[in-house]
A and B are shown apart, each in its own frame.
Chain A
Amino acid sequence: MFNSYTESLAVFFGINVLMAFSVYLPSSAGLISLGQGGFMAIGAYTSALLTAKDVPFALALAAGAAVAALIGVLVAAPAVRIRGIYLIIATLGFGEIVRILFINLEFAGGASGLSGIRPLTTLWYVVGVCFFVGLCLWRLRTLTLGRAILAVHEDETAAEAMGIKLLQTKLIAFGGGAAIAGLAGGLFAHYALFIDPEQFGFSRSAEAFLFVVLGGSGNPLGPVIGAAVVTLLPEVLRFLQDWRMSFFAVLLIGCAIWRPGGLVAARPPSRL
């Protein structure tokens, strides 16, 4: 077997892939989020507080995802009326509010964070969850719901005219994304063993957003590639030492200019 260091990199990479999926699902319905860090925090804290009370890990993870999904739906219900850049701003605000909420929750450790979380996340758990979510997303594209989501993305008015329930479809997509972020948070908490609100702030949300925009949001493979590039590129660039993040930033700008649709070009599911 490979050693525990490479294992830890693989675990963090897997968690990033989940975060990418969590942006991808709502984005395929045209709902772009810059606040997924907030849902990740909800999943992380919920599951960590539950396993501390000896709730089985799988159950705690599911509970974290469920709470994140619930809050996702509650947030999205009024917010899906607004579109495009306005929704991005609303989700950004939501992410910040969640972070601030946890800073003020003393039973969850407040700003000092929550430590002593039990080490329950294994590589196989992460890989399993990634594959499960990935397969679900892949399969979804050929299901009625997936096609409805795509139709909403393409043209809301036309989709509604075809009898697609607009609000319901959007809520499922957004709530699903929140649930995946919650899962990622639960896995992260039980691997890092220490969480604090700062770890789930704007930079976490922006990172997840970059995974999808860089990788491409046409199919679930794009976000995976995006997560791989954003996670591993700064590591590969270490030989540049102090200038590696600057170089990475230049690459970001370059990608935005020359690959605005993402590294993996969109391929409509009908051709599969």
Chain B
Amino acid sequence: MVVVNRNGFIVFHNNEVLAIDNVFMAAVAFLASRDTGIGVGMRKTMIAIGLSAVAMATPAYADVQIGVLMPTSGFAAGFGLEEQGSIDLFMKSYSDLGPAGKLKLVIYDTRGEPAQAISLTKKLIDSDKVTAIIGPYLSGESEAAFPVANRAATPIVTPSSAKPGIAAANRPWAFRFSSTTDKTDKALIEHWTKKQSKPIKNVVLFYDGKDAVSSSDGKTVMPAALKAANVNVLDAISFQTGDVDFSAQVTRAKALNPDGIVVTALFTEAGHLVSELRKQGMTQPIAAGVELSLDHKFIEIAGKASEGVLTAAEFNRDSSKPTVVQFVKDYEAATHHLPGNSSALMYDTLSLMRHCIMSTGVVGNSEADKVKIRDCWANMNGVEAPIAGAVTINKDGDGVRQPNFLVVRDGKFVVDP
């Protein structure tokens, strides 16, 4: 249940058996609590068990413990594995905090499920006594986990969730490293319409109606961005996460003969959609909104059809920036895979978390340390992250950065100036 992995940090394979004992103990204690005498005895036993769990996780001197929530199984496991690669890489070089001892990560698998995210956030805060939490991955999970951390006065930073408003609703303890879609979408549409030789007056908007971020993008964020750029939306056509047949949607769009096509979707669905668009002979320029579509797997899925698709992103694997080149090289050497967007987001979030621990003099896992980390994130202004560059956190707790515009050329994302 507790595994010290090769880099010397502790990995819990999720709700370990001890926790289950605690549930049974809890049930017994509840039943017994009618008879107060027995109830107290039971509670003592339980506290003893709880303490032994903490004792196993906490070494002799005060290290700084950070919890990590990510999906390493279930439908979103792919994202979690990308994040895991960055964690391994980061901890190999940066687990030493100097006078504060070592950085320890307690990692749990959420399976991408909001209910699991709630339980595990509580577990990290109450059982593992972490100073801060990194995660969860999906917006739906963050929506469930943020209120828990906020009420327990523990800083929580999602590397990736992009749906607008979820950090703002959980002030002052919740943050996100990623910037929200409303900011990137607006910049993307401005850039896209400016670059076209033929003016774009009418577009068809495709969106994923099931995925939380993509659907809020497709229904409100993107239409607002298009309106601001004086572009008319002929039709907004939805599909559902997991769809593979996009023929009906594309046939419907083709009949409208738009000047351009805008897509907000996760990379898998975006890939299949773009592929079908080109297959049915629609050659109009395409802008893909949600940042997650900027994954190299998008190019793998869409193949040749991905050529010329424009998107906004924080991570460009083919960038020539030295820190990025180094990161990509190290990541590939360590994992034998190329890093994705999720890897980059996690690596930067870890770097900034370490920055906050070091720069504010966090020494352990006390309430004061939590406040220090919170204030560091809240006041972050132009702090350099290895991959994304200068990071600022706004008053809503959201990351603010100038996104890169990337376009697919010869099977690669290249910067579109």
Contacts and interface: CB of A to CB of B under 8 A. Distances in A.
B27 A10 contact: yes
A192 B219 CA distance: 25
Taking residues whose C-beta sits less than 8 angstroms from the other chain, chain A's interface range is 35 or more
Interface residues of B, number: 45
Contacts of B119: 5, 8-9, 12
A6 B216 contact: no
A2 B25 contact: yes
Contact of A238 (B13, B152, B216): B13
Nearest to A3: B126
A12 B115 contact: yes
B127 A193 contact: no
Contacts of A235: 15, 19-20
Given A1-B43, A111-B209, A10 B115 contact: no
B122 A194 contact: no
A207 interface: no
B206 to A, nearest CB: 15
A7 B151 CA distance: 15
Given A3-B127, A12-B119, A232-B20, A115 B50 contact: no
Interface in A159-211: 191-194, 196, 198-199
Interface string A95-119: 0000000010000001111011001
A242 interface: yes
A101 B47 CA distance: 46
Which of B20, B29, B50, B143 gathers most chain A CB within 10 Å? B143
Contacts of A3: 50, 122, 126-127
A193 B23 contact: no
A112 B20 CA distance: 32
B85 interface: no
A95 B272 CA distance: 29
Contact of B1 (A9, A116, A239): A239
B140 A196 contact: yes
Interface in A231-256: 232, 235-236, 238-239, 241-242
7 contacts: A112-B216, A113-B140, A113-B212, A192-B115, A196-B212, A238-B1, A238-B15
Given A4-B126, A238-B15, A192 B144 contact: yes
A260 to B, nearest CB: 27
Nearest to B24: A232
Given A9-B23, A199-B114, A238-B17, A2 B144 contact: no
B16 interface: yes
A12 B29 CA distance: 17
Interface string B178-198: 000000000000000000000
Contact of A6 (B26, B152, B219): B26
A239 B13 CA distance: 8
A89 interface: no
Interface string A10-48: 101100000000000000000000000000000000000
A265 interface: no
Interface string A122-154: 000001000000000000000000000000000
Given A103-B209, A111-B210, A238-B13, A5 B126 contact: yes
A194 B140 contact: yes
Which of B14, B15, B211 gathers most chain A CB within 10 Å? B15
Contacts of B26: 2, 6-7, 9-10
Interface string B195-216: 0000000000000011110011
A119 B163 CA distance: 22
A115 B145 CA distance: 11
A239 to B, nearest CB: 6
A115 B166 contact: yes
B25 A5 contact: no
A2 B114 contact: no
B391 to A, nearest CB: 26
Given A112-B215, A238-B14, A238-B15, A4 B125 contact: yes
B1 A193 contact: no
B271 interface: no
A238 B140 contact: no
Contact of B30 (A127, A199, A241): A127
A87 B112 CA distance: 32
Given A5-B125, A112-B163, A236-B20, 4 more contacts: A10-B26, A111-B212, A111-B215, A235-B20
Contacts of A116: 169
B22 A8 contact: no
B13 A241 contact: yes
B147 interface: yes
Contact of A2 (B14, B46, B166): B46
A253 B179 CA distance: 47
A106 B120 CA distance: 30
B143 A115 contact: yes
A27 B320 CA distance: 65
Contact of A5 (B30, B122, B209, B219): B122
